Amino acid sequence: MTLLNRYNFFLTVVKGNNEHSKQPGYLCNCNSFYTTKPSSSSTNAIFMIYQQIFRTKTRFSGPLVMGFNKPDIYEKLLERVLFQLYFIDLKLVQIFVFGLAQSNNNLLGYADIGFKSSFLFQLEKQCCLFLQEIKDDICKVTIIQKAEIKKVYYDYTPDFVWKKIYNEIKLLKYQNLQGNIIWN
């Protein structure tokens, strides 16, 4: 619940929204006003009700309105979370890290079995997902295009894997990035 312009707005998170049936959906209600279909964002759910009540185009950021930027709220929300997802912005690519494991091996960028990351990249004018992981002491990069595995590369270090990828795919503008940098 959040207070906007002296009105209490209630936001409910449900499974499924108007775009994806397995992603979160957001419903909002305030007094006799309410959304009937889950929205794909908390911002849109709040905006729809606020607009009905006040007949204005004022928009509020759902996460900010709900207080997710306040330390006492986000610390409480993360209290029992064992792992947080990370985004690393390298300007050329944004890497999404969703599995961490640490080693003493500098050739693996100090990662270990269980490390997983991914990023999106245009390849042959098609958006591809590059999935990077360490599995059974082997570094693996899987390139997925249109929900199908296009190619899988294996080697003993991230640098060796990415040298294979650079040589085969000719990602010239990314050749200056070492595998360890893209990897982690």
Contacts for 54 with CB less than 8 Å, ≥ 6 apart: 5
User: Who has greater pLDDT, 46 or 73?
Assistant: 46
- Which of the 8 DSSP states describes residue 173? G
Contacts for 151 with CB less than 8 Å, ≥ 6 apart: 142, 143, 168
- Which of the 8 DSSP states describes residue 92? S
Poorest-confidence range of 55-59, 81-85, 92-96? Answer: 81-85
Are 47 and 32 contacting, i.e. CB atoms less than 8 angstroms apart?
no
Poorest-confidence range of 6-10, 94-98, 138-142? Answer: 94-98
Locate the DSSP E strands across 42-93. Answer: 86-89
What was the pLDDT predicted at 171? Answer: 61
Q: Is the pTM of this model over 0.75?
A: no
pLDDT at 167 over 60: yes
Provide mean pLDDT across the span 95-121. 83
Are 100 and 109 contacting, i.e. CB atoms less than 8 angstroms apart?
no
When pLDDT is cut at 50, 70 and 90, the band that residue 14 belongs to is: very high
Share of the chain above pLDDT 70, in %: 86
Q: What are phi and psi of 78, to 5 degrees?
A: -95, 5
Domain ranges of the chain: 2-68, 86-183
Provide mean pLDDT across the span 133-156. 90
Tell me the chain's radius of gyration from C-alpha atoms: 22
pLDDT at 173 over 90: no
Helix (H) or strand (E) holding 148: strand 148-155
Provide mean pLDDT across the span 108-117. 82
